[in-house]
A and B are shown apart, each in its own frame.
Chain A
Amino acid sequence: MIKSRGSAELEASFTMIPPQPPGSLILIDWYRSADSKEYFNRIKNKKQRRRFGLLEAPVLPPHLSVDTVRYKVFISGKSGVGKTALAARLSGLDIPNMHYETTGIESTVVFWPVKLRDNGQVLFFRLQLWDCGENALRRFDHLLPSCKEQVDAILFLFSFTDRASFEDLSNQIARSSEPSDSVVKLIVGTKFDLFMHADVTDQDVRKFQEVWGLPVFRMGADVVGAFGEVAPLLNALAESLWHQDCMMVGAARPSPATGGPGPRPGV
């Protein structure tokens, strides 16, 4: 793996963060259960995902009323790895079948209902995915700082069909985060469906995971629009963000009465 200077130091600090086992804070299979239906129906429109403008949010009847928590998620990765495609996939939009470079920042809002394990509370996660074309980002200096401003999580993307994009990960991580920041970081390998052209092996991925201590997700199944394709990543993202918030609240007030942070007003 090609590493930039200082990445050894970065790695060391990332491995210090104890990884929480998936499903320890939220019910990861909840989206499949019957009692989640009335929540998931709010983000569906017939068979497709419902689209929400900035002035809109899922409307729930009073007896189901839940809190919404808002987070900003930056999608980072080499041009052509599939950032725009991932944002479309997670939000249920049509996935571009052609690569048109993104010529600036485009953000997409995704609503995702989650059930907490300890108290059974349901929350709507409002994840705003920030996708910036890599070439635009290089050409215009103001775009990267804007993506990093008050960011809560970063998805670092590589493509299984492009080894250079995998080797670029350490640069991407160094560019967008500080070793000590409290930003949630996940790795997403795209185009996993194109295994015939795979340029990155399972072993590469395992080694990377050991060294960096960051979870790696594989994306790129056929698109049928079902939640099953996106649920593992969205749940992991939601859980990590919630975990991060709990730690922050915990640091400020050692024993939070509710066991988690309250909903944050508009971020």
Chain B
Amino acid sequence: MCAMLQAGSLHLLCLTASSGVPLFSRGVSRQLPFSVIGSLNGVHMFGGGQGAVLSCCETDSGGRVVWKVFQESVMLIAVNGEQGGAVDDFQLRRLLENTWNCMVLVLGQDELVNARNVERLKRDLRSCYRLIDLFLEGAGDGMGDLTHCADCLLVPQPGPLQEALDTFTQASESEFGCLLVHGKVVVATEKWWRLAPQEVVLLSALVRTFSGSSSCDHPVFLPQGSPTVPLRLLRFQLLPGADLCVLCGPAPSLQTAESQLVARFWCPLVETLRGCLALSGRCLPGSVKLHGDVLGLLLINRESRRAVSTVTPGDTPPGRPRPARCRELLRLFYVFAATRYLGPEEAGVPGERRQGDPLEEDFTLGFSHQPLQCYLVTEECKLFGLQTPQHQLYLLMPVSVPTFALRSLATRTLSALTSSTGF
């Protein structure tokens, strides 16, 4: 079981779908040899010629490859090197979807689909590298890249922040506004929540790439909402780590919004914002008490497509995984449980059995029923997954917790969380 929970090294390739011309390649390892790229494209084309779509494969040495063609114009290939046993097809498919979304966000769909000049497209694609690399590296400390649910930070009193955001957004001639703390959504306007969940995740990731600067005016295309017409993402760093975002049309200018609106609406809330920053390690209000055996958790609201995740910070007693490892374990368990038993939340009707990608070999179709709970015991930790019509909870605990106690700890944690935060 232990080998299953090790992450491997990723590589990403992008080619034109029609002629297989390499457009870019990203990843930790050295550039893949051209012959390998050619073969990867070749086998996919061979399948195409036989009326078959090659979607994924596993190599003898445990590597994995996933292919996907987007809009009949661009082919993305994710390659996970040898001994990458833990990486599931699902993770690689998510990486391809996220990469495509990054490309649309920066360049717009038209340029990708109707590229007339391949050399120019290649050059323009360089502007997507920063965002794509962020997803390759795991998109910070959230889980949104995998769950496609917005990573949130729950604060005890969101009221005043929500009010300030709503009025600020309106004053900025927009309906789309959002306040992020360390890349997690604290409050957002109603319209922001109506963006596709992947878009909310994508915009949060984009804001992470700005880290040090004070304000930004970035043209963005929304992969679902506005793939061909660019909008302007204005982002203001209110305090280091606290970012205010609005999606605007041509007005107001960055300068106008910053000099006339930002201080007016947000100065009165400086202390509240500092309070949010203090919570950011945990993502939960201080009043929420977790059982001492909870090393980490991921809670998803299936209806609103929002998620909150936390790992217990600080010094780790011997024999317990460190916080960074806890985060990794939770991610891997999410993939394990969501793809096999509970079903990942796909955009669409919440709570419904996943229709899924017709190409996926659907393990869950083997069941005549919908599993509601599952657990996993390794030498390193114990994990429990729980599903209700409204929520999914993934819980990480130390090996010392008796297996028979996992379920009750999970149920109690879920009700403690939902009753105290209303999430």
Chain A interfacial positions (CB closer than 8 Å to B): 51-56, 72, 87-88, 91, 93-94, 100-101, 103-109, 128, 131, 133, 135-136, 139-140, 142-143, 146, 149-150, 266-267
Q: In whole angstroms, what is the CA distance A54 to B219 when docked?
A: 21
Q: Is B126 an interface residue (CB 8 A)?
A: yes
B267 contacts A55, C-beta separation under 8 Å? yes
Q: Is B406 an interface residue (CB 8 A)?
A: no
Cβ contacts B219-254/A at 8 Å (1 or 0 each): 100000000001011001111101000000010011
Given the known A-B contacts A72-B255, A107-B254, A135-B127, are A54 and B212 also in contact in the complex, defined by CB atoms under 8 Å?
A: no
* Chain B: minimal CB distance from A126 (Å): 10
Give the contacting residue for B254; candidates A101, A146, A267; CB below 8 A.
Answer: A146
Q: Is B355 an interface residue (CB 8 A)?
A: no
Cβ contacts B111-123/A at 8 Å (1 or 0 each): 0000000000000
B124 contacts A128, C-beta separation under 8 Å? no
A53 contacts B240, C-beta separation under 8 Å? yes
B244 to A, closest residue via Cβ: A54
Q: In whole angstroms, what is the CA distance A91 to B212 when docked?
A: 9
Name which of A54, A100, A139, A150 has the most chain B CB atoms within 10 A of its CB.
Answer: A54
Residues 101-119 of B contacting A (Cβ, < 8 Å):
106
Q: In whole angstroms, what is the CA distance A104 to B254 when docked?
A: 11
Q: In whole angstroms, what is the CA distance A165 to B212 when docked?
A: 26
Give the contacting residue for A105; candidates B126, B127, B254; CB below 8 A.
Answer: B254
Give the contacting residue for B219; candidates A94, A100, A131, A136; CB below 8 A.
Answer: A136
Q: In whole angstroms, what is the CA distance A56 to B214 when docked?
A: 11
B239 contacts A56, C-beta separation under 8 Å? yes
Q: In whole angstroms, what is the CA distance A140 to B217 when docked?
A: 11
Given the known A-B contacts A103-B106, A149-B255, A267-B259, are A53 and B214 also in contact in the complex, defined by CB atoms under 8 Å?
A: yes
Q: In whole angstroms, what is the CA distance A150 to B270 when docked?
A: 28
Q: Which residues of chain B are near A94, meaning CB under 8 Å?
A: 212
Give the contacting residue for B130; candidates A72, A100, A135, A136; CB below 8 A.
Answer: A100
A100 contacts B259, C-beta separation under 8 Å? no
Name which of B210, B259, B262, B267 has the most chain A CB atoms within 10 A of its CB.
Answer: B259
B106 to A, closest residue via Cβ: A103
Give the contacting residue for A54; candidates B124, B127, B129, B262; CB below 8 A.
Answer: B262
Q: Which residues of chain B are near A140, meaning CB under 8 Å?
A: 219, 230
Q: Is B216 an interface residue (CB 8 A)?
A: yes
Q: Which residues of chain B are near A150, meaning CB under 8 Å?
A: 255
B216 contacts A109, C-beta separation under 8 Å? no
Q: Which residues of chain A are near B253, meaning CB under 8 Å?
A: 146, 149
Q: Is B218 an interface residue (CB 8 A)?
A: yes
* Chain A: minimal CB distance from B33 (Å): 23
Q: Which residues of chain B are near A101, meaning CB under 8 Å?
A: 126-127, 129-130
Q: Which residues of chain A are near B212, meaning CB under 8 Å?
A: 51, 88, 91, 93-94, 108
B267 contacts A107, C-beta separation under 8 Å? no
B interface bracket (residues with beta carbon within 8 Å of A): 35 or more
Residues 350-375 of B contacting A (Cβ, < 8 Å):
none
Q: Which residues of chain A are near B324, meaning CB under 8 Å?
A: none
Give the contacting residue for B238; candidates A54, A105, A133, A143; CB below 8 A.
Answer: A54
Q: In whole angstroms, what is the CA distance A87 to B211 when docked?
A: 13
Q: Is B173 an interface residue (CB 8 A)?
A: no
A-B contacts besides A52-B214, A135-B124, A140-B219, 8 pairs, CB < 8 Å? A53-B242, A54-B237, A87-B213, A104-B219, A105-B218, A108-B212, A146-B255, A266-B259
A140 to B, closest residue via Cβ: B219
A55 contacts B219, C-beta separation under 8 Å? no
Q: Which residues of chain A are near B216, meaning CB under 8 Å?
A: 104-107
Q: Is B82 an interface residue (CB 8 A)?
A: no
B129 to A, closest residue via Cβ: A100
Q: Is B258 an interface residue (CB 8 A)?
A: yes
Given the known A-B contacts A107-B216, A108-B212, A108-B214, are A55 and B129 also in contact in the complex, defined by CB atoms under 8 Å?
A: no
Name which of A103, A107, A140 has the most chain B CB atoms within 10 A of its CB.
Answer: A103
Q: Which residues of chain A are near B215, meaning CB under 8 Å?
A: 54, 106-107
Q: Which residues of chain A are near B254, meaning CB under 8 Å?
A: 105, 107, 146
Q: Is B192 an interface residue (CB 8 A)?
A: no
* Chain A: minimal CB distance from B12 (Å): 16
A150 to B, closest residue via Cβ: B255
What are 24 contact pairs spanning A and B, CB under 8 A? Answer: A51-B240, A52-B214, A52-B240, A54-B215, A54-B238, A54-B262, A55-B238, A72-B255, A91-B212, A94-B212, A100-B130, A100-B133, A103-B130, A104-B217, A104-B233, A105-B217, A108-B212, A109-B214, A128-B214, A133-B127, A135-B127, A140-B219, A146-B255, A149-B253
Q: Is B266 an interface residue (CB 8 A)?
A: yes
Q: Which residues of chain B are near A143, meaning CB under 8 Å?
A: 217, 219
A54 contacts B214, C-beta separation under 8 Å? yes
Q: Which residues of chain B are near A146, meaning CB under 8 Å?
A: 217, 253-255
Q: In whole angstroms, what is the CA distance A54 to B254 when docked?
A: 13
Q: Which residues of chain B are near A87, meaning CB under 8 Å?
A: 213
Q: Is B347 an interface residue (CB 8 A)?
A: no
Cβ contacts B45-56/A at 8 Å (1 or 0 each): 000000000000
A87 to B, closest residue via Cβ: B213
Q: Is B263 an interface residue (CB 8 A)?
A: yes
Q: In whole angstroms, what is the CA distance A149 to B242 when docked?
A: 26
Name which of B212, B213, B242 has the most chain A CB atoms within 10 A of its CB.
Answer: B213
B131 to A, closest residue via Cβ: A103
B258 contacts A54, C-beta separation under 8 Å? yes
B259 contacts A55, C-beta separation under 8 Å? no
Q: In whole angstroms, what is the CA distance A72 to B259 when docked?
A: 12
Q: Which residues of chain A are near B273, meaning CB under 8 Å?
A: 55
B237 contacts A106, C-beta separation under 8 Å? no
Cβ contacts B264-276/A at 8 Å (1 or 0 each): 0011001001000
Q: Which residues of chain B are near A55, meaning CB under 8 Å?
A: 238-239, 262-263, 266-267, 270, 273
Q: In whole angstroms, what is the CA distance A54 to B126 when docked?
A: 30
